Structure 1
Amino acid sequence: MRKSIALVSMLAILLACRSDKPEDRIRSAFEACRVAVEDGDAAAAVGPLDAAFRGPEGMDKAGARLFLMGLLRQDKVGVTVLRNDLTVRGSEAFQEVDLVITSRQAGLLPRDATRRSFGLRWRKAGDDWRILEIQER
């Protein structure tokens, strides 16, 4: 009985600490994507993508998932965030990130392009924030 009470209390404390600020929720979703890529989990990495997502060269959500599945099967990928600037305007947000992408093998990642910059456009969908667009800068 004491364990149940402690567990419920701990859960209540964690929920009370959760931030509802759009910036915090977006940064948390982005970090979850980064961790999923490093863990080799393509499905989790594309989870925050909107159904209407568009990426480089017109890539859609299904294409992004297939690309990541192929990449992550072939290679262990590391992602280091150098810059993460975020601006929220109502139900849209714009994020500029500079990343260092590393891999153990020469695969789909170009050897000379380890530092990349991206612009992400987010939109609020209900209580969640979804990535609507990613463009390489």
Structure 2
Amino acid sequence: MNSRHNQTNKSMLKSEEGMTLVEVLASILLLSLITTTFLSFFIQAAKVNNQTDAVNEATFIAQEQLELLTYYATTKTVDETLDLMETESNGFAIESHLSKNSGETLYRGTVEVSKEGKTYAQMETRLSFRTAEDLED
């Protein structure tokens, strides 16, 4: 009976199928390459989302500044308006300019929003500065 048991064990070992160490290592390598590829997609998507958030925030700030320029154009002088304009918001640097070419009646108002030297938003409008003194004349 003992020899029959040994023969059964030997036949089971011969017919038993399994994976070798090389196959296991190859499958681990393949899985790690696939996982790394997918992770790089997620990292790139996170970078794009951060950049999009920065552009959206800068655009909102620029639009807000243009609305302030438009409001001040009806109530303040050009110099007072420039003094009232913000120069920084949420880590962004804001540059507001008002210029008028000779012969033109409208001022050109520009707002540039940047961070660390990189411009994220730039907007422009045309304004007529009509203050109370102008209306009295």
If the TM-score is normalised by the length of the shorter chain, which range does it land in? Answer: under 0.3
Which one has a larger percent strand, Structure 1 or Structure 2?
1
| TM-score, normalised with respect to structure 1 | 0.26
| TM-score, normalised with respect to structure 2 | 0.26
